[in-house]
Structure 1
Amino acid sequence: MGTNFPLVRACIFDVDGTLLNSEDIYTKIYNNILREYGKPDYPWSIKATQQSRGTPGTLRLIEWAQLPLSVSDWKAKEKAHIDLFTKSKLLPGISTLLQTLKTQTSPTIKLALASSASRQSFSLKTSHISSISNIFPEAFCRIFGDDPDMTGCEKKPSPDIFLLALKRLNDMLVADGEPPLKAEECLVFEDSIAGVESARRANMRVIWVPHPGLAEVCRGREMDVLMGRTERDGERPDFSATGLEEEKQNLSRGKRIMSEDGWAEMRVSLENFPYEEYGIQLTF
């Protein structure tokens, strides 16, 4: 793949950990459950392999903790703590980024959501955040893990959810008489390793904004994540040990990092986003 990219015409956002601080809430819930069984707190070295992966990810969690629970048992225990999500907040830079993309771009950037979580879960986490419903009203393209069109599809790192978002966006564009989007004209915003790989498999560009805990366990392996080569054929990547010392020095935490092929970028946050570098023209 080359580095001469077309201008970005659409931005597709993951939700948990990308727009919202809900990953911290998930960690709190997981730790509450683990403590019921006398287990240690959930480390990011394991959570890195569980995020966004649906049932396979939950199985990894249960296996690591050696819990006498099925996936449905675990989900039931999670549900007992769901009220914590009513305290979800937007992450730094998100409000400005979304408002700018929706109201200050020419041509207007198309927006979509693509989350592995359920629609009900999304509503619980965002019903108290008016800016989310203003930016992504029901009429906008929203794809969730329980979307009927996701039946039979695979979770991230499969590209299915982003390809469905592309199809939905193109259905809307064609209906409005606009030319359809190409995958490479889409910019995905993700926090999880599986999400980065999913976007790349969909042939889309991707901005990776990992949680500080995830960034720490990925030190020295940032390029592997950005290139989408941490998990192949279902084999679980090992984040219990970080990369080579030379890589740690070259790819230190807090530095903006581009992938070798230019298709992916790692950022510490979405504050002060460089719109022009992605061909997104702003109006003032």
Structure 2
Amino acid sequence: MNALTLPDVAAQVSRQTLPLDWVGMCGIATPVLIDGQRLSATADAGVSLDDGEARGIHMSRLYLALGLLEKRPLSPSLMRQILERFLDSHEGLSDAASLSVHTDLLLKRPALISPLMGWKGYPVSINAHLKNRVFHVELKIQIPYSSTCPCSAALSRQLIQQQFVDDFANRKLEHAEILAWLGSSNGIVATPHSQRSTATLSLRLDANVEELPLQSFINEAEAALGTAVQTAVKRADEQAFALANGQNLMFCEDAARRLNTALARSPQITALDVRVVHAESLHAHDAVAQSRWTRDLS
């Protein structure tokens, strides 16, 4: 008895002849290698369906091509190789392919003063696209930080000044008494509001970039903001963090401008989109600012 040929429904002609921009799979579980770390990730993989008469694509071919992710460190060249496999396996059907990898990059961060260290996770997405032999990679990185409101700080200082007048009006001032006052509850009668904030960086890499400079971009962003959230801390670290916040008062507009200025200097990127969200502790809504920059290639 002859073995029956398995039916291939995807090879049938579609009843509706219409090309599709993207067809594929999302949320594919996969390990990836980034900066020497083996991380748990998910991938989105797909191609265009340019042959409007084709019923569908071959998703199993895309899935099998993703096996390269667990064998080699993630890089632009590796992602391009995978995308080329996508298109080679869909010759005549597709002329565009995309691959997105989503994971949390783990970086060990030192405390500000003490010798303590701890791990911090940064959600990242690496998005690669190949169409008509034109290839590019975009990075998306989320960075948490602390922000203290300049307006609230000014109002708090005014209240402290008023309390000082109320407590010491028409009196001869003694150094020891003032020092004790500054350390009392009256000396800090008001405090400015601050909040955990998030910067989302979307960066298009220059075509000549061979590695994924995730950590360097994170370091540049945190240095520009000056108030990166901490991991393990002692009291000396918490005090240093309070000082950093006091010296880096910022509205969301300030944060967006700082990040734009710092990252636009990088020769590794050709375009960026910065979006900052200050999850206000004063209001029930968020304060948001966004900034875009594109390198002039003329």
**Rg larger in structure:** 2
Question: Scaled by the length of structure 2, what TM-score is found?
Answer: 0.23
- What TM-score, normalized by structure 1, do the two folds share? 0.24
| More contact order relative to length (CA 8 Å, sep ≥ 6) | 1
The structure carrying a bigger helix percent of its residues is 1
Choose between structure 1 and 2: higher strand proportion: 2
